[in-house]
Amino acid sequence: MCLGRGQTMGLVHCIVNPASRDFLCAKMWPKLLTKIIASGYQVETHMTERVGHGGHLAYEIRQKWETAQQGGESEGKPPLVVAVGGDGIVHEIASALRGSDIVLGQLPYGSGNDYCIAHNIPRFDLDKAIEIIKNGTDRRCGAWRLEGVPCPKEGDYPAPESNVWDGEPTRDGNVVRWSFLEADCGITSDIGRAKLRRAKWIKGAKKYTYLGVTTIPLWKRRKVEVTIDDGKPEIRDFTLISVTAAETFGGGYKINPGMNPVKKNGLLIFAPRLSRIAMLSLMGPIQKGKHIGKWGITQTPASKLNLRCVSPNGEPSDSSTKITSYLNIDGEPVLQLPAKLEWQLDQITVRGANQVDWQ
């Protein structure tokens, strides 16, 4: 749903992840700040200091706005909060703003910047990205609600904790998260988990190539019980399960062709048990969106998913089994099965280009 253009200049809150793009974002920020001020905005800068800090900063801005509204002290126009960095900081800020009228803008300075791709924000032209912040179109977008078992701490990466802005879980011990880009379970989530303990010295896309080549040969086969919407549960041998809020992830890989942030129903990508050669060969077809139908990979309408572990003797379980299946959410392996996923519309206002491919 389009809400019009953001023409009036004023205060903009910029939440900056200085660690984005191997800390180049911190070096670039003074130049970006000068450009934003030159465009007519007053800028309040908020620098993140740790994983998850962006959500806390965004929620503080939200609380001040909502308190001012309740006290009749606001002018009635929601503030603009701009995520400066990659998809990780976008996820943190979007999670904290979700359910409010506050507008999320983006200045891409990460590795993938797929949320910018979804909203037709240039990833490599910051002047045009600033112009969209100034004169772009606001749209109400959907997101996936995910609830599952929290992953344990891994190295210096903390175990996820419940956030007040994510809402309460329906089961004790679970954690709720929201996905604005992509969530996956299977070989890709194991590769994502591996990055927390291996190959930290490798930068950019080469890291994931190395992790993929070294993880796939040792990956343990597994099964999962899948319930789609209100259908019957099915036990399936699987390699990959993925849902998205847009077409691309991983820096432009067209994982879920036809999906967009305002689509009424979700789309499920399911890859059955694949050979290790097929796993290693997946990246090329996925990059072009040509993987549907290859090796038995399917794309199915699905707005609700219930994923349960399957024990070695073939019994579905509401507890984790010996083989842990992680759940990546917007690139971070924070949950594990069993888990529930649900596509929900009208969750957040995002400022993007005036024209997008999917509308």
pLDDT in tens, 113-157: 999 999 999 999 999 999 999 999 999 999 999 999 999 988 878
How far apart are alpha carbons 185 and 269 in whole angstroms? 11
How far apart are alpha carbons 188 and 190 in whole angstroms? 5
Average of per-residue pLDDT values in the chain: 91
Predicted pLDDT of residue 204:
61
Mean pLDDT check: name the lowest of 47-51, 155-159, 283-287, 327-331: 155-159
**CB-CB contact of 182 with 192 (8 Å):** no
Section 50-58 average pLDDT: 94
Domain with CATH 2.60.200.40 in the chain: 144-345
Predicted pLDDT of residue 206:
75
| Chain centroid, CA 77 distance in Å | 27
Percent residues over pLDDT 90 in the chain: 69
Which 8-state DSSP code applies to residue 48? -
- Pairs from 32-36 (Cβ < 8 Å, separation ≥ 24): 32/84, 32/107, 32/109, 32/126, 35/126, 35/127, 35/130, 36/12, 36/130, 36/133
pLDDT in tens, 260-297: 999 999 999 999 999 999 998 988 899 899 999 999 99
Q: Which of 182, 113, 149, 151 is nearest to 330 (CA)?
A: 182
**CB-CB contact of 140 with 348 (8 Å):** yes
**CB-CB contact of 335 with 146 (8 Å):** yes
Does residue 3 have a pLDDT over 70? no
CATH class of 2-141+348-352: alpha beta
Mean pLDDT check: name the lowest of 284-293, 313-322, 325-334: 313-322
Section 182-190 average pLDDT: 93
- Residues ≥6 apart with Cβ < 8 Å to 100: 62, 65, 66, 78, 348
**How far is residue 58 from each of residues 78, 84, 337, measured CA to CA in Å?**
13, 12, 29
Percent residues over pLDDT 70 in the chain: 95
| Chain centroid, CA 293 distance in Å | 25
Tell me which of 63 and 318 has the higher pLDDT: 63
SS3 41: coil
The pair phi, psi for residue 190, each rounded to 5°, is -65, -35
**How far is residue 333 from each of residues 55, 117, 144, measured CA to CA in Å?**
17, 22, 15
What CATH number is given for 144-345 in this structure?
2.60.200.40
Is the full-model pTM beyond 0.85?
A: yes
SS3 161: coil
Give the pair of three-digit tokens for residue 261: 């942030």
Section 181-203 average pLDDT: 86
Predicted pLDDT of residue 4:
42
Which pLDDT band, with edges at 50, 70 and 90, does 7 fall under?
A: very low
Does residue 355 have a pLDDT over 80? yes
Domain with CATH 3.40.50.10330 in the chain: 2-141+348-352
Which 8-state DSSP code applies to residue 249? B
Tell me which of 169 and 112 has the higher pLDDT: 169
- Residues ≥6 apart with Cβ < 8 Å to 194: 211, 214, 215
Predicted pLDDT of residue 203:
67
Q: Which residue has the tokens 């023409």?
A: 7
